[in-house]
Amino acid sequence: MESAADRSRILDPSLHPEGSLAIAWARRHSPVLTGLVASTFEDGSLEGVRVAVVVHLEAKTALLASVLADAGAEVVVAGSNPHSTRDEIAAALVERGIEVHATRGSDYGTWEKDLLAVADREPMYIVDDGAELTIRIARQRPDLYRRLRGVSEETTTGVERLRRLEAEGNLPFPAMAANDAACKHLFDNRYGTGQSTVQAVLQLTNFVMAGKEVAVVGYGWVGRGIATYVRAMGGRVSVIEVDPVKGLEALMEGHEVGSAASVLPTADIVITATGGMRAIGMRDFPHLKPNVVLANAGHHDLEIDVAALEEQAGAPRQVRPGVDRYEWNGKPINVLSKGALVNIAGGLGHPIEIMDLSFSVQGLSLHELVVNDLDPGVHILPKPLDDAIARARLEAEGVHLDSLSSEQVDDMGDWIGGR
Ligand code: NAI
């Protein structure tokens, strides 16, 4: 019989020892995923269930795949972005008997083929990121799309894509918006991306943050997190937004807020976090400060229009690992990690404790899909499960909360009383 190794497409199986060490480290620091979630799956609900995991392929994702496989699932894995795949992690998964289709830095054509190879394993459920596998199955494997039993989605952009499919009347299965659980976006999008993005930018450039002016494009959960960490390290934040409430929020936080044309000329570093495409594009290049550093934290590699920059400035010169320098009309512009998510493609990704939360949400979301007969459409993890994840994480940190006394509960019911 063909083994997982025979079916996989990875760079080099011999890289597995380094990958296994990284996964073991992640396991040691993921008490919720390996505790609460693993014990939830002890009900046998995943036995023989085929699950595709298409999330940035690094150590924490590999741990999630392993927890699902340990629970009896037949797991097949690909990366949600070729620039974030870790080849040693892919090798460790294959060594453990899990099929993988991914290599770091593959061209987009090869990446598409990897995703379709995963589709051709006919998964019943998908743990997706950016809905990258789901939208390809919708377009290119319509029969399989109709048979899918459920999708659990990791990120803001993917949830938006699923909601659009639902609005078009083309979501024939239940989908869990894992991103919308409190234990996901409040921590992962804000603290996890905030910390890891700033870390990656500084590591790739070897710059100091203190005294830098940093333009943050998009002040949603991710932008807010980035702004917090930039300020904590002594940088000054300017925000570019299109939503008036978000713009006002940024102002109240004490940041500069303005249009791209007013903010970009003084920004040393520009970080995009909009979830859209071409947030920094042709009309912005004339405003950029010479030697500026451009980095992206949003889902799409197209958030900085690197293709347009290359068309106008010619091919870049790699001046450091992960740093491409363009000469635009004689002005040097540096792009990090080719415009892919800088914290994952150019850094270590999210902190383990954060992914313990995010992937616990994914795990319990998948469990909900498998054990319940949910209606087609986008669903959110029930609050008691979200709370159980937060409580388990607090307990792992040695923190125990108070609970309301019966008297306090009674007072809350007495909504007319009081002075
Ligand atoms: P969000 O929806 O909370 O915030 C996005 C913000 O960008 C909104 O306030 C919107 O008004 C603003 N915006 C949209 N287009 C804009 C433009 N052209 N110029 C200025 N502002 C614009 O989304 P969230 O949760 O902050 O996520 C942002 C992106 O980051 C998404 O693509 C998400 O999938 C991705 N993400 C990346 C992570 C990473 O590890 N790098 C982790 C979590 C999310």
DSSP per-residue codes, 65-133: HHHHHHTT-EEEEE-SSGGG--HHHHHHHHHTT-EEE--TT--HHHHHHHHHHHHTT--SEEEESTTHH
Residue 270 Cβ inside 6 Å of ligand 1? The answer reads no
Assess whether the C-beta atom of 275 lies below 6 angstroms from ligand 1. yes
Residue nearest atom 1 in ligand 1 by C-alpha distance: 220
Alpha-carbon separation of residue 2 from 22, 50, 68, 236 (angstroms): 27, 17, 21, 56
pLDDT of res. 410: 87
Amino acid at 359: F
Distance between CA 66 and CA 61 in Å, rounded? 9
Structure tokens at 20: 């296994």
Closest CA to 359 of 25, 100, 62, 79: 62
> Any bridge partners for residue 341, and if so which?
296
Q: Beta strand 150-153 with 174-176: parallel, antiparallel or unpaired?
A: parallel
Enter the tokens of residue 269.
Answer: 């570093």
What's the pLDDT score for residue 414? 75
Q: Whose CA is nearest to atom 37 of ligand 1?
A: 298
Whole-prediction pTM: 0.94
Atom 33 in ligand 1: which residue has the minimum CA distance? 156
Cβ–ligand 1 contact at 200 (below 6 Å): no
pLDDT of residue 413: 79
CB atoms within 10 A of CB 412: 9
- State residue 419's pLDDT score: 59
What was the pLDDT predicted at 411?
84
Q: Which amino acid appears at position 276 of this protein?
A: G
Listed in sequence order, the residues at least 6 apart from 415 whose beta carbon sits closer than 8 Å to its beta carbon are none
Identify the three-state secondary structure at position 284: coil
The stretches in the chain having pLDDT less than 70 are 415, 417-419
Mutation test residue for ligand 1: of 163, 245, 274, the one with most atoms within 8 Å of CB? 274
Q: How far is CA 288 from the centre of its chain?
A: 28
